């Protein structure tokens, strides 16, 4: 060997070499300091009054292919730099997950070392969550037209791109396409709610037109769901409108509300209000109730197991004729 070449080789003090840890050893160390919970425990936490911050530490393409709805995506490589934007208080409960729970437990240990006190790893990761049958979300790319249409929503921190995607995935049932249902349907369609169920068994009457803004003079005599659908699609072609030209009854109510995330009750009689309330309570669906008389009105959100229902507030309807319609 050329002496010059030998002199250029780095000198190593073998007494100071620290043996490299294996992945198994690093995982074992992380699990000693990071608690793990399963999908069912996380689901209960998310439904509690103080849900944790959930962070998906996978790469963005993995996240788009399917993720837990409550999760924000911060790739593991950027976690230490960006976690402060998602969690300002180091005492806030944080749940991390990856595909199988290995990357996230190592990431959770790093957050512990940064001073975050309450960090939990989702055991089994996204894979176990999905295999447990719990809900997952897959993001579809927005079209250029959608990006432009909803651009003002992107500027709102309460909505943003993530909130807009959730709106596009949402399904809302509107019971009644009249004085309450008309403006509600228009604003939900404009906001980009992906699927609207429009339920009404009546036809348009000329006396409706001074308040029921879904319909026009040309629609007089036609089913309200048909004219309403035409108006909504003209406003926002993205919206999938499901027409339900019928009245809600005890025989169809459970089947009708089953496929929707939210029910908006714009009915004009107490029988329907009690029926919708009871069905939503049994099905665990949130019921948004509205009523109006002349220049007075009210709106109430009835969320099952989070407060009273309509029947709790009004145990029985008023005597016939006492309340004008």
Q: Are 309 and 281 in contact (CB under 8 A)?
A: yes
Q: What percent of the chain is modeled with pLDDT above 70?
A: 92
For residue 4, name the pLDDT band (cuts at 50, 70, 90). very low
Q: What is the pLDDT of residues 117-132, one digit of tens each?
A: 999 999 999 999 999 9
In a domain, 152, yes or no: no
For residue 18, name the pLDDT band (cuts at 50, 70, 90). low
Last residue of a domain, one of 100, 131, 162: 131
For residue 325, the model assigns a pLDDT of: 59
For the chain, the first-to-last Cα distance in angstroms comes to: 103
In a domain, 262, yes or no: yes
In a domain, 260, yes or no: yes
Q: What is the DSSP letter of 202?
A: -
For residue 13, name the pLDDT band (cuts at 50, 70, 90). low
In this predicted structure, the answer to whether residue 321 has a pLDDT above a threshold of 70 is: no
For residue 316, the model assigns a pLDDT of: 83
Considering the domain architecture, whether residues 194 and 257 belong to the same structural domain is answered as: yes
Last residue of a domain, one of 110, 131, 152: 131
For residue 262, name the pLDDT band (cuts at 50, 70, 90). very high
For residue 292, name the pLDDT band (cuts at 50, 70, 90). confident
Considering the domain architecture, whether residues 174 and 125 belong to the same structural domain is answered as: no
For residue 291, name the pLDDT band (cuts at 50, 70, 90). confident
More confident of the two residues 206 and 8: 206
For residue 5, name the pLDDT band (cuts at 50, 70, 90). very low
Q: What is the pLDDT of residues 48-88, one digit of tens each?
A: 889 999 999 999 999 989 999 999 999 999 999 999 989 98
For residue 21, name the pLDDT band (cuts at 50, 70, 90). confident
In this predicted structure, the answer to whether residue 96 has a pLDDT above a threshold of 90 is: yes
Considering the domain architecture, whether residues 116 and 197 belong to the same structural domain is answered as: no
In a domain, 19, yes or no: yes
Considering the domain architecture, whether residues 53 and 118 belong to the same structural domain is answered as: yes
**Could you write out the three-class secondary structure of the chain?**
CCHHHHHHCCCCCHHHCCCCCCHHHHHHHHHHHCCEECHHHHHHHHCCCCCCEEEECCCHHHHHHCECCCEEECCHHHHHHHHHHHCCCCCCCEEEECCCCHHHHHHHHHHHHHCCCCEEEECCHHHHHHHCCCCCECCCCCCHHHHHHCHHHHCCCCCHHHHHHHHHHCEEEEECCCCCHHHHHHHHHHHCCCEEEEECCCECCHHHCCCCCCCCHHHCCCEHHHHHHHHHHHHCCCCEEEEECCCCCCCCHHHHHCCCCEEEECCCCHHHHHHHHHHHHHHCCEEEEEEEECCEEEEEEECCCCCCCHHHHCCCCCCCCCCCC
If one counts the domains in the chain, the total is 2
Q: Which of 143, 233, 239, 225 is nearest to 195 (CA)?
A: 239
Q: What is the pLDDT of residues 188-238, one digit of tens each?
A: 999 999 999 999 999 999 999 999 999 999 999 999 999 999 999 999 999
Q: What is the pLDDT of residues 143-186, one digit of tens each?
A: 999 999 999 999 999 999 889 999 999 999 999 999 999 999 99
For residue 41, name the pLDDT band (cuts at 50, 70, 90). very high
In a domain, 46, yes or no: yes
CATH number assigned to the domain comprising residue 98: 3.40.250.10
Question: pTM above 0.75?
Answer: no
Considering the domain architecture, whether residues 103 and 36 belong to the same structural domain is answered as: yes
Q: 15 is written with which tokens?
A: 């007494």
For residue 8, the model assigns a pLDDT of: 46
Cβ partners under 8 Å of residue 313, min gap 6: 300
Lowest-pLDDT range, 21-25, 246-250, 254-258, 280-284?
Answer: 21-25
In this predicted structure, the answer to whether residue 256 has a pLDDT above a threshold of 60 is: yes
Considering the domain architecture, whether residues 225 and 308 belong to the same structural domain is answered as: yes
For residue 1, name the pLDDT band (cuts at 50, 70, 90). very low
Considering the domain architecture, whether residues 216 and 108 belong to the same structural domain is answered as: no
In a domain, 159, yes or no: no
Q: Which domain holds residue 105?
A: 3-131
Considering the domain architecture, whether residues 92 and 182 belong to the same structural domain is answered as: no
More confident of the two residues 254 and 268: 254
């Amino acid at each position: 060997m050329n002496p010059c070449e030998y002199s250029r080789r780095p000198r190593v003090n073998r007494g100071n070499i620290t043996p490299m840890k294996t992945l198994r050893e690093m995982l074992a160390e992380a699990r000693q300091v990071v608690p793990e919970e399963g999908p069912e425990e996380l689901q209960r936490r998310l439904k509690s009054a103080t849900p944790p911050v959930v962070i998906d530490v996978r790469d963005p393409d993995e996240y788009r292919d399917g993720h837990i709805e409550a999760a924000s995506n911060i790739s593991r490589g950027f976690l230490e730099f960006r976690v402060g934007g998602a969690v300002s208080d180091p005492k806030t409960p944080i749940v991390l997950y990856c595909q199988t729970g290995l990357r996230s437990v190592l990431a959770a240990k790093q957050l512990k070392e940064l001073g975050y006190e309450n960090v939990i790893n989702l055991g089994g990761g996204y894979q176990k969550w999905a295999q447990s049958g719990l809900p997952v979300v897959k993001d579809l790319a927005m079209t250029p037209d959608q990006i432009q249409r909803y651009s003002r929503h992107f500027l709102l921190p309460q909505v943003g791109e993530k909130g807009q995607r959730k709106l596009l995935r949402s399904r809302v049932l509107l019971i009644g396409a009249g004085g309450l249902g008309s403006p509600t349907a228009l604003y939900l369609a404009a906001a980009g709610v992906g699927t609207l169920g429009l339920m009404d068994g009546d036809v348009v009457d000329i006396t409706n037109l001074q308040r029921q803004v879904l319909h026009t003079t040309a629609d007089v005599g036609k089913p309200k769901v048909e004219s309403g659908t035409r108006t909504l699609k003209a406003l926002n072609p993205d919206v999938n409108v499901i027409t339900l030209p019928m009245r809600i009854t005890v025989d169809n109510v459970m089947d009708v509300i089953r496929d929707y995330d939210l029910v908006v009750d714009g009915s004009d009689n107490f029988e329907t209000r009690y029926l919708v309330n009871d069905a939503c309570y049994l099905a665990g669906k949130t019921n948004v109730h509205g009523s109006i008389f002349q220049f007075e009105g009210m709106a109430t959100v009835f969320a099952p197991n989070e407060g009273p229902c309509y029947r709790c507030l009004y145990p029985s309807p008023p005597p016939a004729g006492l309340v004008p319609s």
